[in-house]
């Protein structure tokens, strides 16, 4: 009898099973605990079912507890509950899809999913007992409500001008061929520019180029970006090869790929926003990755031109925080000069240049401002004198002088950096304004100087970058609520770092722009103004 039961099949299709459970999934009065709720929301929505009243998500909770940990259900169960769960591949077979479940013995399916449910319930209890008050607030005020926002954005998707991208791709092909022609002329021969081995042989054997760094490896010559960038200062061929690589990468990553990702159902591209990937709290995106489109470059802006509204009666609106991390540096350090510059709406780079070069602000040249800008942003990321010297093409000694003058100008920033570094070393973590912690394990006490110094720089930047991430997430929640309440025809479609992109009908652009600014200003939580730059146009490029 037992043997007969084990062979019994599940006679439900996925659709039938979801329809049976639909009243439970959609009932607002029945609370649900999930792991990776957004994934389940999409799965059910694809079968015309809503998932309502999610009160806990064990994946989000674990991400808040320690962003560097692996947040999978099975990893958590093993680490926190000492519970070794069955892998899906053991049940389904390697590479099989979940629909195969309907073809399996009933008791196997029952055991697998009840074990999942048991682990999720136990983990929820574990996290609730172990999250701090700040972490609980972060969970319920930011991460959990953001899940619904991201779900809606992923469903919205974005329209792509595929005809324009085809023309752009053809144009890039011409540029690549011109580069190849120039490279071959300089080299005196033709070779495969995409082959590191052949590039190394041409550069270092045939042409006899000299690199300061180590370029010989066990398998041949190194032609890494670092090596080529060093050579490009002196040798034109290295500069051209770098450009060739860059164009090929952009073409294969975005220009040729975006049209292939257009959905046949709604003719839009639907990226996936990853909420639990980065250690900083920032969102990332995949399929396609829209966070890494080159910023402030011609080719990057030309890619953004392909992002368009669905019809001619709408526009793309883009809003981003102005110099958010520098403003957060002013808030955290409470430096009087930096704070005053932002409160009085001064050009912060010109202010820094005037102090460093000891001139009046009206006497600051473009070159002085450029150098001051490099120092301002370099300091945020803990840039060393060697990094700054490369960025400005000056000697390390000159770069150190710039850094010294910077800290003389803004002594409270130096104090913030040292205090933050010391806190991180003593506690093993730093945290954002909203209590998001970033842990550094043993990196801060590593015997390896490079690892130790990198961790110290990351510790200084983490509260700034992490708080910026928290602020944009809160803004997204506020804006999404406002759009759903008042302007349902407008859609928030993308988030890229400190920028939100919205598709808006022409007749409500001004109203939505006003709502967006108000949502992002967040009633001004810092001791310096949060300023939002906003524009709109026929495509994302025009809105930048």
User: Quick one: pLDDT band at residue 216, thresholds 50, 70, 90?
Assistant: low
**Is 435 part of a structural domain of the chain?**
yes
In a domain, residue 152? The reply is: no
User: 451 and 502 in one domain?
Assistant: no
Predicted confidence band of residue 6 (pLDDT cuts 50, 70, 90) = very low
What pLDDT is recorded for position 393? 80
Say what the pLDDT of residue 402 is. Answer: 87
Tokens of 190: 């033709």
Number of domains in the chain: 4
For residue 86, give the DSSP letter: P
Q: Read off the pLDDT of residues 235-248 as tens digits, 9 standing for 90 and up.
A: 999 999 999 999 99
In a domain, 140, yes or no: no
CATH number of the domain encompassing residue 108: 3.30.420.10
In a domain, 138, yes or no: no
User: Looking at 113-117, 139-143, 150-154, 185-189, which range is the least confident one?
Assistant: 113-117
The pLDDT value recorded for residue 62 is 97
- Both 338 and 449 in one domain: the answer is yes
The CATH number linked to 177 is 1.20.1060.10
Residue 398 lies in a domain: yes
- Please determine, for residue 512, whether its predicted confidence score (pLDDT) is greater than 80: yes
User: What's the confidence (pLDDT) of residue 14?
Assistant: 76
- Predicted confidence at residue 106, as pLDDT, reads 65
- State the pLDDT at residue 212: 67
DSSP state of 98: G
The answer to whether residues 436 and 138 touch, using CB atoms and an 8 Å cutoff, is yes
Please determine, for residue 93, whether its predicted confidence score (pLDDT) is greater than 80: no
Question: Residue 169 — φ and ψ, nearest 5°?
Answer: -60, -45
Under 8 Å between Cβ of 58 and 76: yes
The pLDDT, as a whole number, for residue 168 is 97
Same domain? For 47 and 174 the reply is no
Q: Cβ neighbours of residue 451 under 8 Å, at least 6 residues apart?
A: 443
pLDDT at 105: 67
Domain of residue 354: give its range: 325-467
* pLDDT at 296 (0 to 100): 81
Strands (E), 424-531: 429-431, 437-439, 491-496, 499-505
What own/partner pairs with CB < 8 Å and gap ≥ 24 does 519-527 have? 519/475, 519/478, 519/479, 519/482, 520/319, 520/321, 520/472, 520/475, 520/478, 520/479, 522/471, 522/474, 522/475, 522/478, 525/433, 525/471, 526/327, 526/328, 526/330, 526/331, 527/330, 527/331, 527/334, 527/339
Q: Same domain for 402 and 479?
A: no
Is 433 found in the same domain as 522? no
How far, in Å, CA of 525 to CA of 335, rounded? 17
**Are 411 and 280 in a shared domain?**
no
Distance CA 351, CA 152 (A): 42
Q: Is the pLDDT of residue 130 over 60?
A: yes
Same domain (yes/no): 167, 240? yes
Read off the pLDDT band of 100 (50, 70, 90). Answer: low
What share of the chain in percent tops pLDDT 70?
Answer: 92
Domain contains 215 = yes
| Residue 382's CATH number | 1.10.150.20
Residue 394, pLDDT score: 82
- Which of 436, 467, 498 lies at the terminal end of a domain, its last residue? 467
In angstroms, the CA 258 to CA 55 distance is 36
Q: What is the CATH number of the domain that holds 484?
A: 3.30.70.370
423 and 497 assigned to the same domain: no
**In terms of domains, do 313 and 364 share one?**
no
Tell me: do 483 and 380 sit in the same domain: no
User: Which is higher by pLDDT, 501 or 400?
Assistant: 501
User: What mean pLDDT comes out for the span 121-125?
Assistant: 97
Q: Please, which pLDDT band fits residue 527 given cuts at 50, 70 and 90?
A: very high
Strands 314-321 and 532-537, bridge-based pairing: antiparallel
Is 267 contained in some domain?
no
Q: Kindly report which listed range (92-96, 293-297, 346-350, 376-380) carries the lowest average pLDDT score.
A: 92-96
Residues 225 and 338 in one domain: no
- Mean of the per-residue pLDDT values for the chain? 90
Flag whether pLDDT at 5 surpasses 60: no
DSSP codes, 226-266: HHHHHHHTT-HHHHHHHHHHHHHHHIIIIITTGGGGB-TTT
Helices (H), 411-448: 411-427
pLDDT of residue 544: 85
Whole-number Å distance between alpha carbons of 493 and 309: 10
343-386 per-position pLDDT tens digit: 999 999 999 999 888 899 889 999 999 989 988 888 888 788 88
pLDDT confidence tier of residue 185, bands split at 50, 70 and 90: very high
Take residue 28 and report the two structure tokens written for it: 């607002």
Asked if residue 335 and residue 248 are part of one domain, the reply reads no
Residue 439 inside a domain? The answer is yes
Q: If we measure between CA atoms, which residue out of 507, 480, 506, 482 comes closest to residue 493?
A: 480
């Amino acid at each position: 009898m037992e043997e007969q039961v084990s062979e019994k099949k599940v006679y439900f299709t996925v659709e039938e099973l979801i329809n049976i459970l639909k009243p439970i999934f959609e009932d607002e009065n029945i609370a649900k605990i999930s792991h990776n709720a957004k994934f389940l929301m999409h799965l059910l929505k694809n079968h015309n079912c809503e998932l309502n009243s999610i009160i806990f998500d064990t994946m989000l909770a674990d991400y808040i507890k320690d962003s560097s940990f692996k947040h999978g259900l099975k990893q958590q169960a093993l680490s926190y509950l000492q519970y070794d769960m069955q892998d899906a591949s053991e049940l389904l077979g390697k590479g099989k899809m979940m629909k195969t479940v309907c073809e399996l013995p009933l008791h196997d399916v029952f055991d697998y999913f009840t074990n999942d449910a048991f682990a999720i319930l136990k983990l929820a209890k574990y996290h609730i007992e172990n999250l701090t008050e700040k972490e609980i607030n972060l969970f319920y005020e930011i991460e959990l409500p953001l899940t619904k926002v991201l779900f809606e954005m992923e469903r919205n998707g974005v329209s792509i001008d595929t005809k324009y991208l085809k023309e752009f791709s053809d144009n890039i092909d011409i540029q690549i061929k011109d580069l190849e022609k120039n490279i071959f002329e300089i080299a005196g021969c033709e070779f495969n520019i995409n082959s590191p081995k052949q590039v190394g042989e041409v550069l270092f054997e045939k042409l006899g180029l000299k690199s300061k760094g180590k370029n010989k490896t066990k398998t041949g010559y190194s032609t890494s970006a670092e090596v080529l960038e060093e050579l490009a200062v002196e040798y034109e061929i290295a500069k051209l090869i770098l450009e060739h690589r860059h164009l090929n990468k952009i073409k294969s990553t975005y220009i040729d790929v975006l049209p292939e990702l257009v959905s046949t159902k709604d003719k839009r591209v639907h990226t996936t926003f990853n909420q639990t990937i980065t250690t900083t709290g920032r969102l990332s995106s995949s399929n396609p990755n829209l966070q890494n489109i080159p910023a402030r470059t011609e080719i990057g802006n030309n890619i953004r031109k392909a992002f368009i509204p669905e019809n001619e009666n709408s526009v793309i609106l883009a809003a981003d925080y102005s110099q958010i991390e520098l403003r957060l540096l002013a808030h955290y350090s409470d430096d009087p000069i930096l704070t005053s510059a932002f409160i009085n709406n001064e050009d912060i780079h010109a202010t820094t240049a005037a102090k460093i070069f000891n001139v009046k602000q009206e006497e600051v040249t473009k070159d002085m401002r450029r150098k001051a800008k490099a120092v301002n942003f370099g300091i945020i990321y803990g840039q060393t004198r060697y990094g700054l010297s490369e960025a400005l093409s000056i000697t390390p000694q000159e770069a150190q002088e710039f850094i010294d003058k910077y800290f003389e100008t803004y002594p409270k920033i130096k104090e913030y950096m040292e205090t933050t570094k010391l806190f991180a070393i003593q506690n093993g973590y730093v945290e954002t304004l909203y209590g998001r912690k970033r842990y550094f394990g043993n990196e801060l006490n590593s015997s390896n100087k490079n690892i130790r110094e990198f961790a110290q720089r990351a510790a200084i930047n983490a509260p700034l970058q992490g708080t910026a991430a928290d602020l944009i997430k809160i803004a997204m929640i506020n804006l999404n609520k406002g759009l759903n309440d008042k302007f349902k025809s407008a859609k928030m479609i993308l988030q890229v770092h400190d920028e939100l992109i919205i598709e808006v009908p022409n007749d409500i652009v001004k109203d939505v722009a006003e709502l967006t600014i108000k949502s992002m200003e967040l009633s001004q939580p810092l001791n310096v103004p949060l300023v939002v730059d906003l524009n709109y146009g026929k495509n994302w490029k025009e809105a930048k």
